[in-house]
Amino acid sequence: MKNLDYCARIEKDMVILSEGNVSKCCIDFEGLTSFGNVDKGSLSDIWNGAQRMGFIEKLKLHKRKKLYPCNICVI
Ligand code: SF4
């Protein structure tokens, strides 16, 4: 897994932290980054939002090893 340039998990999972922030992935359990907050927007808007879509596009360009939290991922 560490050697893969892309990870499909980002397209399947939504991780919502206790304060409502939608983390990029469970690896970022401290919520250092987020796609939005469920108290401020709908799940649908966050799921389909520009931040999340932009992140996925960067991953698809094989930039996984340069993007947090994927660059520290041990899964
Ligand atoms: S943090 Fe790891 S499991 Fe999550 S999307 Fe990135 S590579 Fe995949």
Q: What is the pLDDT of residue 65?
A: 84
Nearest CA to ligand 1 atom 6: 70
Q: How many CB atoms lie within 10 A of CB 37?
A: 15
C-beta 7 within 6 A of ligand 1: yes
Task: Identify which of 57, 65, 66 has the alpha carbon closest to the alpha carbon of residue 2.
Answer: 65
* Cβ of 15 below 6 Å from ligand 1: no
The residue whose CA has the least distance to atom 8 of ligand 1 is 7
pLDDT tens-digit profile, the chain (75 residues): 667 778 889 889 999 999 999 999 999 999 999 999 999 999 999 999 999 999 999 988 878 888 999 988 887
pLDDT at residue 1 in the model: 63
- pLDDT value of position 2: 64
